[in-house]
Amino acid sequence: MKHLLFGLVVLFLASCGNNEQPPRLSADGAISQAEVKRIYQMKCSICHGTDGKLMIGGAPDLSISTIGLEERIALITYGKETMPPQKDILSAAEIKAVAAYVENFRN
């Protein structure tokens, strides 16, 4: 029994040690701006561009988008036309954070 416990502790420590990802959450549990930016660049900029204005594949210019936060959250969650749904990829908190992030593109 003692052995098993020791093994688990070693496994736990090893799995922590191998995790070289930067922390996804800041101390207060919110997703950091750097992380949101990274998510946007990975999942969204391919169609919308880093400034929201790329408009690939029928994507609208996000800098002139007027839809509200709730609508954006729904759109990002479930997708529409060529825009892929994120519900099985990003957490609800990440979707909300990225939905808020695109407001930065508005003029």
Which spans of this chain sit near ligand HEC (rule: CB under 6 A)? 43-44, 46-48, 57-60, 62, 65, 67, 72, 75-76, 80-84, 86, 98, 102
Nearer to ligand HEC, 17 or 58 (CB): 58
Please say whether the beta carbons of 73 and 95 come within 8 A: yes
Which amino acid appears at position 99 of this protein? A
CB of 29 to ligand HEC, least distance (A): 21
CB of 9 to ligand HEC, least distance (A): 38
Angstrom distance (rounded) from CA 93 to CA 9:
30
